[in-house]
Amino acid sequence: MKQHLIDPEVCIRCNTCEETCPIDAITHDSNNYVVDAAICNHCMACVPPCPTGAIDNWLSVLAGSPHTLEEQLNWEVLPPPQEESGAQLEADGSVSAAAAARAAAAGAAAAAGILSEDSGLDGVPSTGAGSSVPPWSAAQPQVNLYTHKNPVTATVVGNYRVTDEDTESDIRHIVLDFGAAPFPVLEGQSIAIFPPGTDSSGRAFHARQYSIASPRDGERPRYNNLSLTVKRVMTDSAGNVVPGVCSNYLCDLKKNDTVQVIGPFGSTFLMPNHPEANLIMICTGTGSAPMRAMTERCRRQLKEKAFNGRLMLFFGARTQRELPYFGPLMNLPADFIDINLALSREPSQPKRYVQDLIRERAVDVARLLDNENTCVFICGLKGMEEGVLHALDAAIGLAGQEWPEVHAKLKAQGRLHVETY
Ligand code: NAP
């Protein structure tokens, strides 16, 4: 039988597969992400969203003895196939095991009604709330140019704080230069960085993923560099003091330090590439990184008279002083970008979340969404996803349309992209 497995050498532990799996067949510990053979039905929902392709492994194993979760959690590399004939097929290239499994899975899924029940208009497998295909006009991304086996070295050329000094939120704008190493990226893509050192079991730390905050032609135009937006993490999700390994490493980097990078990753959360495209960007905190990249791309295109669309931004932060890039953002002309700031802890102001502002601007949001040139990008805290989708639902309802239909259409057309953590 073919067992669905995740390649621990390639996986960047971004949690996308676990979030996407509709039947909770994927789990993880501090070492690995793993697939439970007893639950996985090969529905393939997790395969397209995986930024690295680590998920797309189908190993020949003896029927009745798949690799257990305990085995998988301890792997450093995938084991060899158990079944000679299956291994031979893969080695020959005469039949791709993954392709065969995919075809079988697609057939099984279609037979079980999985695709038709939870797919977009064109039978595109669902990946949760967002599209699993890029906007039709998106440029072709490069992915996985550098992997765990051949990371590239980048040099830090800048590390600036983009929140006020006296606030709790230490958010950094970090610029990395790749020198002569080719590192082509698109807005919306991400990279991953290896923090130095080992965990408590003596294993090298895994790479951590960050969205790129600069446009495709570089933080500085025509330089081979890019930027990241990184928040220094000092507590775990329960509020205990546990400094984040990679965020603290990155926030403390000095000019001329070097870092080990893999990527780029991501082939769906990409901006449309035609001049009439409109963007509705909804983000919280450091989820603003891809929005900054897209906005700056549009601004540069506008200067070249190659952009004619509309930008609408909903940006949530605790206070104005903790909102990354507040100064530069407010310098952008109002006729270029429609900025809506949702501040949740600004003294003397009522608590506002991005979804509150979407409701307030419902008429404009619905009108823009009605235009087939409009794409929506949502990035930031996991918690905001539901509220934002409800607010979009309400806006569409006010315009006399049905959200389930509009939502399915947006997903199928690659016009709704969600990246939340
Ligand atoms: P944060 O400061 O904790 O929160 C930003 C704002 O979101 C605050 O105003 C917060 O309000 C509000 N918020 C909290 N719960 C919300 C909800 N349910 N709906 C709407 N708004 C809500 O943000 P952060 O620490 O920067 O975190 C941003 C997230 O983006 C992280 O999870 C990060 O992993 C993710 N991300 C980062 C990158 C990157 O490249 N750095 C890329 C993609 C995603 P209150 O706290 O006052 O309630």
Tens digit of each residue's pLDDT (9 = 90 or more) over 42-98: 999 998 888 888 999 999 999 889 999 999 999 989 998 875 544 343 333 333 333
288 CB within 6 A, ligand 1? no
Check residue 18 and report its DSSP letter: H
The mean pLDDT of 366-374, rounded to a whole number, is 98
Bind-site residues for NADP(+): 211, 231, 286, 344-345, 351, 380-381, 419
379 lines ligand 1 (CB under 6 A): yes
Q: Is the CB of 287 under 6 A from ligand 1?
A: yes
Rounded (5°) CA angle 72-74-77: 75
Does residue 333 register a pLDDT over 80?
yes
pLDDT of 376 over the 70 cut: yes
CA of 202 to the centre of ligand 1 (A): 32
Residue 357: which residues within 8 A CB-CB, separation 6 or more? 314, 340, 341, 342
111 pLDDT band (50/70/90 cuts)? very low
The number of distinct structural domains making up the chain is 3
In this model, does residue 99 exceed pLDDT 60?
no
Residue of 284, 292, 321 to test ligand 1 pocket, by largest number of atoms within 8 Å of CB: 284
CATH number for the domain spanning 360: value is 3.40.50.80
Q: Are 75 and 203 in contact (CB under 8 A)?
A: no
**Which residue is it, tokens 């690799």?**
67
CA distances from 264 to 155, 185, 214, 367 (A): 16, 7, 13, 34
Tell me how far the alpha carbon of residue 210 lies from the centroid of ligand 1, in angstroms. Answer: 14
| CA–CA distance, 341 with 362 (Å, rounded to integer) | 15
Task: Tell me the Cα Rg of the chain.
Answer: 22
* Interval between CA 285 and ligand 1 midpoint (Å): 5
Q: Is the pLDDT assigned to residue 311 strictly greater than 90?
A: yes
Task: Determine, yes or no, domain membership for 128.
Answer: no
Residues counted in the chain: 421
User: If residue 267 lies in a helix (H) or strand (E), which one and from where to where?
Assistant: none
Measured in whole angstroms, how far is the alpha carbon of residue 372 from the centre of its chain? 23
98 CA distance to ligand 1 centroid (A)?
A: 37
Angular region, 358: left φ>0, alpha ψ -120 to 50, beta rest: alpha
Q: Is 137 inside a domain boundary?
A: no
Q: Are residues 301 and 411 in the same domain?
A: yes
Share of the chain above pLDDT 90, in %: 79
Q: 311-317 and 337-343: which strand pairing? A: parallel
Q: Is residue 38, in this structure, part of any structural domain at all?
A: yes
- Ligand 1 mutation target, pool 15, 246, 286, 288, most atoms within 8 A of CB: 286
What is the mean pLDDT of the segment spanning 300-317?
97
CA of 383 to the centre of ligand 1 (A): 8
Residue type, position 82, single letter: Q
Tokens at 125, concatenated: 């497998």
For residue 177, the tally of other CB atoms under 10 A from its CB is: 20
Give tens-digit pLDDT for 248-288. 999 999 999 999 999 999 999 999 999 999 999 999 999 99
CATH number at residue 85: 3.30.70.20
Which residues span the domain enclosing 244? 152-265
Give this prediction's pTM.
Answer: 0.85
Q: Are residues 254 and 283 in the same domain?
A: no
Distance separating alpha carbons of residues 270 and 337, to the nearest angstrom: 19
